[in-house]
Amino acid sequence: MARLLKGAEAARAINENSLQMIEQLAGAGIRPCLGLVRVGEKEDDIAYERGIEKRCDGLGIRIEKHVLGEEASTDDVLEVIRRLNEDKDVHGVLLFRPLPRHIDAEKVQNALAAEKDVDGMTRASLNGILTGDDIGFPPCTPAACIRILEHFGIDPCGADVTVIGRSLVIGKPLALMLLGKNATVTICHTKTKDLASKARRADILIASAGKAGMVTEEFLQSGQTVIDVGINFGPDGKMCGDVDADAAERIAGAYTPVPGGVGAVTTSVLAEHVVKAAMRENGL
């Protein structure tokens, strides 16, 4: 029976850390504030927004919401971003993505001031991951994966890590972040041959392909740590990850459940980034 890496436990530790910083900020008369920018009324966005609001309320982080209509133009979104850049009381900004297709996402994302980029969407943040510079923040989901490993004492240093998936929001930044922690990283994708054997030989397997149950028994090895980043909905309408949970429980050494794994840590990481942005801005 594999050890269950529960997101809630890691989230609690992150929140405690945030609360200490929030106290320090309060002593200096500062209340951290997250600007949320949403275009349209997508269900996914609204569900995530609710999670963020709940987390921030619990911690005492102020939220400033900017909701634009589905038909908003690139200039409309840019205008909101520009105002948030200038607002000294807003420390971090999250823009729900993907944006509607008619909006120039590249332009909008890079308009955000790097120091307020709490979800790694600007060039400066992504570059920080590549170079190790402390500009902006990494995207929240890969950061959540790293925090789960840290929390449960699973050290990536020297470990063989296989990352399935190479998206710019998860796979690539996570691979580079793990490399920065001295893991030996193999990045796999749809063109990878004999994927199962590459997954099996890893000490730490990261499943971020976005395909329900694609990581089956033959991808797994006893003792292995499996981090499941997938959020999918199975034929029964239930939320599930990329990993066959039964197989993981039977074979792996440890794994993150879906739901209740990586997803349960993301909003805590986001909140922590906002608090850190407030600390940095105030030289604390």
Q: Which residues of this chain interact with its own copies, rule CB under 8 A?
A: 106, 123-124, 126-127, 130-131, 133, 157-158, 160, 166, 168, 172, 175-176, 179, 182, 184-189, 191-193, 198
User: What is the number of residues in the chain?
Assistant: 284
CB 179 → its own copies: shortest distance, Å? 6
- Burial of 102 (C-beta count, 10 Å sphere; 0-12/13-18/19+): exposed
CB 78 → its own copies: shortest distance, Å? 19
Amino acid code (one letter) for 17:
N
- Residue closer to its own copies by CB (options 30, 105) is 105
Q: Is 28 helix (H, G, I), strand (E, B) or coil?
A: coil
- Residue closer to its own copies by CB (options 25, 99) is 99
User: What's CA 213's distance to the chain center, in Å?
Assistant: 21
- Residue closer to its own copies by CB (options 167, 282) is 167
Cα gap 57→53, rounded to integer Å: 6
- Residue closer to its own copies by CB (options 133, 246) is 133
CB 48 → its own copies: shortest distance, Å? 23
CB 257 → its own copies: shortest distance, Å? 28
CB 193 → its own copies: shortest distance, Å? 6
Task: Assess contact for 224 and 234: CB atoms under 8 A.
Answer: no
- Residue closer to its own copies by CB (options 32, 136) is 136
- Residue closer to its own copies by CB (options 1, 157) is 157
CB 223 → its own copies: shortest distance, Å? 15
- Residue closer to its own copies by CB (options 69, 132) is 132
Cα gap 154→235, rounded to integer Å: 33
- Burial of 97 (C-beta count, 10 Å sphere; 0-12/13-18/19+): middle
Secondary-structure breakdown of the chain: helix, strand, coil percentages, each rounded to the nearest 5: 45, 15, 40
Spell out a b/e string for 182-214, using b for 16 or more CB atoms within 10 Å of the CB, else e: ebebbbbeeeeeebeebbbebbbbbbbbbebbb
Task: Assess contact for 201 and 223: CB atoms under 8 A.
Answer: no
